[in-house]
Structure 1
């Protein structure tokens, strides 16, 4: 099937997650993020007989509000010159295509078509956890941002921008004992604790969370995050609709310093 809302799947448990997207068969596990972009044919399942759990995030509320939702379930391929309806896509790319072509930052092959799936999103359809984890580990001793800790964005390797035009994704790390300073922004956020536990203070109210919970932070809300562990980091998987707001010149972000003074951050 395919649809106009853009979506991702973020692996939580199980190593046999499967998503076939535009002819690339992706098997993925915990921490891997797989794109199913606007108007890209895809199908889901598992391989190997092991149960798997994913977090799926879509820009469906925005697309629905704009009355631009469409779904298509009739997938066809040309076979011997005839259009034939199929339930499973024929693989057209090797299973490691995304990592082989786009997996080295700053280096991009010229000899492939970078407009897969109509060119409506990042052509890198799977972002592997080991790559993200290596970047987090390399920066665990940096000062980071006092309002966010260490944040690494997922980007479209061909533009350096967000993976979708409407919504973007990131990983946020709080070091042991770290507490962020208060901030608020116009964008709405979704955070999923991938590792660790702690609490957040949203508009003055405390919310405790554990691994695989989901935290919704409405646009305009003041928020602080606290890692209560003295030995283990907290790692969030996050989603934001900031790209849409930035395109419409509506995005703003504020914070407070240690003295409580209001700061205009963006």
Structure 2
């Protein structure tokens, strides 16, 4: 039951891809409920994952000895093969959004999960703290400056060493540029990046925050990458057109945008709306397969990437 289980996740399985656990062909998303004052034992797995806070300010994730408490809008990484545990250290239930590249890893026949966490050969139910709780912010929270007194190789070294991306500085960045023209296809979009090399957080997935100003409508585009889109801030009252079909949405809904489909986003409200977006673009780029096309104001198709 939901009371007895240490993992309470509602996985969004696309009926067009069932019985695979997939929301789009390469990624799945799930809503995870954490009960008050619970932290599950450590585990690790080959898929990479993120947690994005939706409700509650005491969500907990510990990764390789960095214990992070996070709230709405905060993004926490659990790179592949890193020991980590999740939970809630507050007195109220908390919900976060999970995104994993499990369908892609499953296709490559490379899925594994491990639960036998040990320190010095002794099985443990909790990871020992190895760095300060604000390590990611303290070391990587100053854009343009790279500390040379720490190693930036964390976990397997194949993902961003910054495990926690806070919502406040990202939201402040969007607000500072609210009056800019933005991009006709992507409005005001900010990508989460590895602070060491400027690349995506994972080799398989990248993530964006996109602000739609009141009444803003992006131009239609399509690409070979698949997207997962979650309206996060602004109260909702918008819609997205995918493959010619309109989908109305509100906060915390999730849209699956399959590769190859034309899509556009519309803010129907009188306040800004921020979308949280996951994309498998890095995986496509690795094979030289990522392409994007847009439809101009005149209705012509132009190549974007």
Q: 2:282 aligns with which of 204, 224, 243?
A: 243
Three-state SS of the structure 1 residue aligned to 2:128 is coil
Alignment of 1:123-138 (within 5 A): 123-138=161-176
Alignment of 1:93-172 (within 5 A): 93-172=131-210
Q: Deviations over 1:168-225 (max 9, x none)?
A: 1110110011001110000000000002320011111000000000000000000011
Quote the offset at 1:48 in angstroms. 2.0
Q: Deviations over 1:136-169 (max 9, x none)?
A: 0111111111011011000000110000000011
Quote the offset at 1:49 in angstroms. 1.4
Q: Deviations over 1:24-55 (max 9, x none)?
A: 00000000000000000000110121110000
Three-state SS of the structure 1 residue aligned to 2:96 is strand
Q: Distance in 2 between matches of 1:204 and 1:120?
A: 38
Q: In the alignment, does 2:285 pair up with 1:252?
A: no
After superposition, the CA RMSD in angstroms is 0.6
Q: Distance in 2 between matches of 1:249 and 1:141?
A: 35
Q: Distance in 2 between matches of 1:260 and 1:75?
A: 56
Q: Distance in 2 between matches of 1:45 and 1:182?
A: 39
Q: TM-score, normalised by structure 1?
A: 0.97
Alignment of 1:6-85 (within 5 A): 6-78=48-120, 83-85=121-123
Q: TM-score, normalised by structure 2?
A: 0.85
Q: 1:190 aligns with which of 228, 242, 245?
A: 228
Q: Distance in 2 between matches of 1:162 and 1:48?
A: 31
Unaligned runs of 5+ in 1: none
